[in-house]
A = this chain, B = another copy of it.
Amino acid sequence: MKEVQGGVTAAQGFMAAVAEAEIKYKDRKDMALVFSKVPAVSAGVFTTNMVKAAPVLRDMRLIKEKEKAQAVVLNSGIANACTGKEGDEANEYMAQQTADVLGIEKELVLTASTGVIGMQLPKEKLQKGALLLKEGLSDSIEAGTEAAEAIMTTDTVSKQCAVQITVDGKTVTLGAMTKGSGMIHPNMATMLCILTTDACISKKMLQKAMSAVVKDSFNMISVDRDTSTNDTYAALANGLAGNKEICEENEDYKTFLDALLYVSKKLAMKMAADGEGATKLIEAQVKHAPGDEEARMLAKSVITSNLVKTAVYGSDANWGRILCALGYSGVNFDPEKVDLFIECEGRERLQLVKDGLAADYSEEEASEILSAKKVTAVADMKAGTAEAVAWGCDLTYEYVKINGDYRS
């Protein structure tokens, strides 16, 4: 597997476009289109929030009922959540306008929205937007990059990733873009992430692979413990790589799965690092936990703790907060067995806790490690063989600022 340039246009046969539709923002790209030259097998995982946005409900239905999809149209600024019948209509209209300009059936067009909850999408702007999108379609790497920019809201950087693997002697490419900065605590799903691949894979196996990778990627990040109404991870596989179709759990499937996990993890980490107001990425590694699910619960409890997040912001090795967060994770363990370490790139790992008690370490050294852009905390539970990694970010003044006046 090797990482290559680009995102959703990296794989063969995929094009992208962006538009300034002025849906809510002014003077910036706020619509994006991803288009496959041929219909592609579709799969997706979505938010588990009881309150689901109009595009989420429609995508869930289409992915379940239809074998294929050919386009995804996205907008930023308005989430089209809690918008009732009018919102459903606007969402259908967005799909219809896109289908019309592309000359394909409406049911081949998936939709995704992100932004403020409760506002209605302005129909006339969607129409204008669809026309602009059609004009801009390109299979260049840049087109994919621009699409990743057009779906940003409070994100400060765009996020994309692409890799190439060899399946059945053919070069297969997977590329994806994602957005997400606040209201990030994916649960069995993720924020907006559109993945394209030219792999030839059955719908069943694509769905299986996606459901498998979210557990160790998007579901392991959190910015603020708020599971969004709009979380969407949709994939299109158009088969243009020409490999023998993957339709069982064979070696080819494993190769594909590894690549999908790589891309998903990478984008999940980028999302956590770009958490609203964040200055640091926090990684929590849990070792020797009693089981996989327990390992995940422990790791996630650490990165979601506001007290851990503020301590990392202040570069304060207040390890009691980490032990405390492990303690209320819901997992049974013996606190007097736990070892804790912190580390960052370019420095030796530092042990803070040995068998549940303060180790003999230098506060100064600890503070230096915690000042890095990416800080890793390692908890050795000495209670089994399972491992997990979760990613979050520090909690800062800026987070409060962004969310104290988001709508204005």
Binding site for B on A (CB under 8 A): 48-52, 79, 81-84, 116-119, 182-183, 185, 187, 224-229, 304-307, 310-311, 313-314, 316, 318-321, 323-329, 331-333, 335-336, 353, 355-358, 395-397, 399-408
Contact = CB atoms under 8 A, between A and B. Distances in A.
A400 B313 contact: yes
18 contacts: A48-B328, A50-B326, A50-B328, A50-B332, A51-B327, A51-B356, A82-B357, A116-B318, A116-B320, A118-B357, A182-B307, A226-B325, A229-B324, A310-B402, A311-B403, A311-B406, A314-B405, A395-B403
Contacts of A325: 226
Contacts of A185: 328
Contacts of A332: 50
Contacts of A50: 326-329, 331-333, 335
A91 B382 CA distance: 27
Contacts of A51: 323-324, 326-327, 335, 356
A119 to B, nearest CB: 8
Contact of A307 (B224, B307, B358): B224
Contacts of A402: 310
Most buried by B among A316, A331, A400: A400
A interface, over-half SS: loop
A224 B405 contact: no
A307 B183 contact: yes
Nearest to A335: B51
A50 B407 CA distance: 40
Contacts of A399: 306, 310, 400
A19 to B, nearest CB: 25
Given A84-B355, A118-B323, 8 more contacts: A50-B328, A50-B332, A82-B335, A119-B358, A224-B305, A226-B325, A397-B401, A399-B400
Contacts of A226: 305-307, 321, 324-325, 328
A336 to B, nearest CB: 7
B358 A187 contact: no
A396 to B, nearest CB: 6
Given A356-B84, A357-B82, A396 B406 contact: no
B324 A49 contact: yes
Given A118-B319, A306-B225, A400 B404 contact: no
A407 B323 contact: no
Nearest to A119: B358
B314 A404 contact: yes
B310 A403 contact: yes
A319 B50 CA distance: 16
A83 B358 CA distance: 8
A336 B116 CA distance: 18
A357 to B, nearest CB: 5
A317 B229 CA distance: 18
Contacts of A48: 328
A335 B85 CA distance: 13
A153 to B, nearest CB: 13
Nearest to A305: B226
Contact of A84 (B319, B336, B407): B336
B396 A357 contact: no
A185 B79 CA distance: 31
Contact of A324 (B183, B310, B353, B404): B183
A351 to B, nearest CB: 14
A404 B335 contact: no
A51 B187 CA distance: 26
